[in-house]
Structure 1
Amino acid sequence: MGQRTRAERDAMTVEIGYALVSGFVVAAATFGGVSLPALFLDLPATAERLLLKAGAVLGAVVFVVRVVHVLWRFPGSAAVLPPGAAQPSQPGRTSPDS
C-alpha cells in the first residue's frame, strides 16, 4: 500500500473520531435503557445487579459493533476503488471525454 496523502490521513482521523463518539453515544443509550429500571424501580438486589451487569455488557458489545460497522464502511483511499469509479475530471460532466 502506498503512502497516504494528508487529506486521506485527515479523513481517516475524522472517521475514527466519529466512530468512537457515535459508539460511545449508542453504548450509553443501551446501558441507560437496560439499567435505568434498576435505578428507578424497587427491585431485589440480585435483579438490580443483573440489570446493571447486563447493561454494561450490552453497552460494551454495542460500542464494539458500532465502531467496527462505521470503520468497515469507510472507503479508505481511492486506490481501493474499482476502475472507472473515480470522479469525473470536470465538474458537471459524466465522463472526461463527454
Structure 2
Amino acid sequence: MTRDRVRRDAVTVQTGYALGTAALLAAALFCLVGAPVPVFGLHGTARDVVLVAASAVAAVGFVVRVARALWRFAPPVAQPSQPGRTSPDS
C-alpha cells in the first residue's frame, strides 16, 4: 500500500471511531439527563424542559467527543525503510 493510502485509511478509521464513540456518549448522556421523565412520571412543561436539556447535553457531548478524538489524532508518520536508519544512503 502507498503511504497516502495508509494515511487515508487511518483517517477513515479514526473518524469512524470518533463518530461511533460520540454517538454512544450522546445516547448515554441523553438517557442520564432525561431519566427523570419516566422515573418521576413528568408531564407537560417539566417533561419538555428535561427533554430539551437532555438533547442539548447530548449534542454538546457529541460535538466535544468528536472534536477531542480528531484533535488528538495524528496521522501515522512514515517509517524509515530500514530499522535504526534515519536518512537514506548518500
Report the TM range for the smaller structure's normalisation: 0.7 to 0.9
Identical positions, percent: 40
Runs of 4+ with >3 A deviation: 86-89
Find the counterpart in structure 2 of residue 67 from structure 1: 66
Give structure 2 stretches of 5+ with no counterpart: none
Aligned residue pair count? 84
Task: Considering fraction of residues, name the structure with more helix.
Answer: 2
The one-letter amino acid of 1:60's match is A
Q: Quick one: distance in 1 between partners of 2:77 and 2:16?
A: 21
Alpha-carbon distance change, 88 to 39 in structure 1, aligned in 2, over 3 angstroms: farther
Q: Distance in 2 between matches of 1:33 and 1:62?
A: 12
SS of alignment partner, residue 78 of structure 1:
coil
CA distance in 2, matches of 1:46, 1:96: 68
Is residue 52 of structure 1 aligned with residue 51 of structure 2? yes
Matched with 1:5 is 4
Per-residue CA deviations over 1:46-86 (Å, capped at 9, x if unaligned) read 2111110000011001000000000000013527xxxxxx6
**Distance in 2, Cα, partners of 1:87 & 1:23:** 35
Q: Is the 8 A contact 2:30 2:55 kept in 1?
A: yes
Mapped contact 1:39–1:48 kept (Cα < 8 A):
no
1:26-41 matched pairs, under 5 angstroms? 26-41=25-40
